Structure formats: structure tokens, C-alpha cells
Amino acid sequence: MSTLSSALKTEISRVTRKILRDELLALKRSSHAYRSEIAALKRDVKELRAQLRAQGKVVKKVAPPEQAPAEPRSRRTRAFSPERFAAQRAKLGVSQADMAKLLECSALSVARWEAGKAVPRAAQAERIAGLRGLGKREAAQRLAAVS
């Protein structure tokens, strides 16, 4: 029996090796094809980068970059200060909610700005700067118009 079992084992291992060899051969071929394709793509990318660099140099030589003229500011904006903002609101005699209506923002934003927990964005900073020369009467008129 031992010769039969050993013959069976050798036959099974031979058939298994044959099957695996065919599958591995197909796998190696596809792997080789993918690697070749990847190498070709890398070459293409390298060539395109070189072309792009060359085009960039040509564009720089032909047309120098134009500098946009600086726009004159009608108002000079300062760095935001929570204390100045609170003083401005007190000068106008309005509540945080009313100040928020004037600035078209939320009352929470006004409270956070005054507490120094947040800084207004550029658009809001411009609106705040627009309120600088405003008096109590003008503020009350604008609030009446907004409400």
C-alpha cells in the first residue's frame, strides 16, 4: 500500500505543478504587460513635463508678466481691534443685535468680534469701516430702513 500511496502523492504533486505552471505563466505575462505599460506611461509623463517646461520658458520670453495696477483705496482700513469695535458700537448707542442688522450679519458674530474670539472677514471689515463716520441719528435712520 505504501507504494500506491507514494505513487498517488507523486502523481498529484506532478499534476498540481503542471496546473500551477500554466496559471503562473499567464500571471507573469499579464504582469509583464502591465509593467511595460507603466514604463511607457512614465516616459510619456516625463516627456510632457519637459514640453510644459519648455512652453513655460517660451511664454515667459515672449510675454513678460503684466503687473496689475494697484487700486487706490478710498478708505484706509486698520487692523481689527475688538476694543475699538465695541467703542464704535457704544458711540452709536446700538445693541449688538442692532449692530448686526447694520452690518448684515448675525448678533453672535458681533458678540464674538467684541470678545476677541473671532475676526471679521474682509467684506465685514469693509462694512465696519463704512460705519466709522456714522452718527447716532444716521445709525437710527439706517436701522429704521433695515427693519
Residues in the chain: 147
CB of 139 within 8 A of CB of 102? yes
Torsion sign, CA atoms 74, 79, 80, 82: negative
> What is the value of pTM for the model shown?
0.47
73 found inside a domain:
no
User: How does residue 62 score in pLDDT terms, banded at 50, 70 and 90?
Assistant: low
User: How does residue 66 score in pLDDT terms, banded at 50, 70 and 90?
Assistant: low
Range of the domain at 24: 1-62
Number of folded domains that form the chain: 2
Q: How many CB atoms lie within 10 A of CB 92?
A: 21
Which CATH number do you get for residue 107? 1.10.260.40
Q: What is the mean pLDDT of residues 50-69?
A: 70
pLDDT at 109: 93
- Please say if the pLDDT value at position 43 is more than 90: yes
29 found inside a domain:
yes
- Please say if the pLDDT value at position 34 is more than 80: yes
Claim to verify: residue 51 and residue 91 sit in the same structural domain: no
Cα distance between residue 75 and residue 120, in whole Å: 17
Could you tell me if residue 116 is left (phi over 0), alpha (psi between -120 and 50 degrees) or otherwise beta? left
67 found inside a domain:
no
